[in-house]
Each structure stands twice: as structure tokens, then as C-alpha cells.
Structure 1
Amino acid sequence: MPKIALLSGSLRRESSNTAVIATIRRILEQQEGCETVDIALRSFPPFDEDVERAGGTEGSRAVAARVAAADALIISSPAYNGYPPGMLKNALDWLSRPPGGGVVKGMPVGIASASPGRAGGANVQPRLAEILTNSGAVVVECAPPVTVGNAVALRTPEGIITDAAVHADLERLVADVLAAVGAPATAPVTG
């Protein structure tokens, strides 16, 4: 039974990336035997090696344990000036520690991005992939990359995305991540 950790790179309550993660959660929950676990950016204090040496914080230890117990991670990130938000980078710094042995080392990680613009945050994905690779994670190659353009308009009041084309792309990402952990996806679920 694969367990997939889900992480929105945005703190905003009505975030498009949080809607992408909520939609991915629904897709995963309809896959036979899949379990999901949500990871909150707010659980991580600013990275500080002194705090790390002292054992981290209760929140950072708890979240790292939840990620470590997962088989894979899926992240949806906004692009802030073409880069992942600082809070997402901070969380990945915590999850990559200690050097050479963090909880994301060897873990398959799928990437999506969403933005109000047409490009859907595509420019953040290579940079996020580089951070993940440097952290020892195995970035799941999804071709073409999963980007959600005009995402603000696509987010429903319930906080999900129901657009058929986007849903199909997210199903493809889920299938690629499940294949990376050796768990085949069941038949696609319609929107």
C-alpha cells in the first residue's frame, strides 16, 4: 500500500497550488490501496544548524517522520520570480538534513506547478528539480511537465480543480509517481 506525502509550496489559504494538491489527493484516494499524508510548510521554523544540532523542533521532527514514512512526495509550487517560495526551500532544507542522509534521500518526488499566468509556473520546475536532486531525492520525470496555467480561474470554491485537461495531467503525474514506487495506477478517474 503506497503512502504519498503531499506538499503545497504556498502558505495562502486559497492558493492555486493547494488546490492542485487537494485535487491530487482526491485522485490518489481513488487509487486502490493508496494513502496520503499532508505536509504543512508552517511546521518548519527557519532553518538553523544550531536548532538542528539540538534535535530540531517538535514540528520539524514530526513532519520529517511523516515524510520518512511515505513512499514518495508530490509537490506543487508557485513561481516567485521564477524560483520556489522561500518557505518551500526552507522545508526542503530541513528534509534534506543531515547532509547525505535526509528523509528525501532516494525518495521519488513528483513536481507540479500552478500560477495565474498562462505558463503555470513552468519556470520554477527546473529550479525545484535541481534543489531536490541536490538533496538526494529522485525527481520523477513527467513529460510534458505538469503545469496549471490560469489556475486562479480554475480553482473551484471547494478548493479543487475540475478542469478535464488539468485533471488528466494530474492523473498522469500520479501514475508516474506510483510507477516510480512500483505501484501501478488503477484506471483513470474522471473529474
Structure 2
Amino acid sequence: MPKIVLASGSIRRESANAAVIATVRRLLEQRDESYEVTELSLRHFPLFDEDLESDGGTPELLAAKAQVASADVLIISSPAYNGYPSGVLKNALDWLSRPGDADRAPLEGLPTVVVSASPGPAGGENVQPHVRQILGNCGATLIDCEQVAVGNAIELRTPEGVITEPSVVKALDGLVDAVAGHLAATPQEAAA
């Protein structure tokens, strides 16, 4: 069963990006295909420190890296903090770009999709090229799909923590279509 890891670039529980991730999860779970869907908490990543890396890292860090290393796809929803990804997202990507004791870094060759959300009308679309560039530098493979930037996302977040606005759901469903198409076209191998 393909493994999909979802990550919100904002650690605030009621963030717009957490709502996007919850909506994507719901869309994946409504599919006929079966996926193992998990969420990666960026709270488990200490500030990047080569001394800590040399000491083997923390158990939570190692578990987070293993979670991503075993994924077939990573979907990231990024906020735009002054036009750039959040510090917690950048920090997590730095850790995930490092192999540690493994044969390869968790992000190396990992098919990845980037979406963004913000309280503003542009939806943080200006952050997406930066996140994609970082992911490319980390060795991730970007899945080709329409860019999705969810504007006014705080207003669209329901009390249940998802987004139900039809145009946003349709755009996110297109992103899920791209992921499903990629997985269907790619032979699934046992994760290393």
C-alpha cells in the first residue's frame, strides 16, 4: 500500500496550512485506492545541529526521519512568512536532507508536492518557488501538478479544521489526482 506523508509548515494547531493538510487527508481517504496516510509533526525536529547529528539525534527525530524515508510521496503545505517558508519547515527540510546513519537522505528522490495557504488573498503563492528550490537542493523529486495556493484560508477553515469551499476542494482534489496518477505510474518498491 503506498505511503503518503502530509506535513504542515505551520505548527499552530488551528493554522490555515493544518486545515489544508486535513482537507487533503480527507480527500485521500475518500478515494477508491488505499493509501497509508500519516502526518509528520515538525515539532519533533530540534534546531539543526551537526553536533546533535553526530551524537545520533533524538528518538523523535529518528522516528520522523524514518517516517519520511519510508514514504512514497510527501505533501507539504507551506505558509509564507514574509514570502519565505517558516523556520520550522526549513529546519525540518535541512534535517531530512541528511542521511545520518542511513544509506540515503529521506528526501533524496522522494516524490513531493507543495501547496500553500495564508490569510491573505494570494494564498502564499510567492513561497512555493522557494520551497520547491529548497526541495530540489535536498534531492527531492517534484510531482508535476497545478499550483494550489489557498487564499483567505483562515476564513475558510471550518470548526472541524478542514476547508469545504468548493473551489478549494476542487483544486486540492486535482493535486490528489496528480499524486494518485504518479503513484499509479510508479512501481512501488519496499522502502529502503
TM-score, normalised to structure 2's length?
0.91
Residue equivalent to 2:13:
13
Matched residues in 2 for 1:123 and 1:141: separation?
18
Matched residues in 2 for 1:102 and 1:69: separation?
11
CA contact (8 A) 1:74 1:110 kept: yes
What 5-or-longer segments of structure 1 have no aligned partner?
185-191
Query: How much does 1:183 deviate?
Result: 6.0
Matched residues in 1 for 2:154 and 2:185: separation?
32
CA contact (8 A) 1:108 1:181 kept: no
Residue equivalent to 2:27:
27
Structure 1 residue 102 corresponds to structure 2 residue 93: no
RMSD: 1.5
Secondary structure in 2 aligned to 1:94? helix
Residue equivalent to 1:187:
none
Corresponding pairs, count: 183
TM-score, normalised to structure 1's length?
0.92
Residue equivalent to 2:155:
153
Matched residues in 1 for 2:4 and 2:56: separation?
25
Matched residues in 2 for 1:3 and 1:46: separation?
27
What 5-or-longer segments of structure 2 have no aligned partner?
187-192
1:175 corresponds to which of 174, 177, 188 = 177
Matched residues in 2 for 1:49 and 1:98: separation?
12
Percent identity, aligned pairs only? Answer: 58
Secondary structure in 2 aligned to 1:19? helix
Query: How much does 1:70 deviate?
Result: 1.2
Deviations 1:145-177 (A, max 9, x none): 101001011000110000111001111111112
Structure 1 residue 55 corresponds to structure 2 residue 67: no
CA contact (8 A) 1:43 1:63 kept: yes
Residue equivalent to 2:142:
139
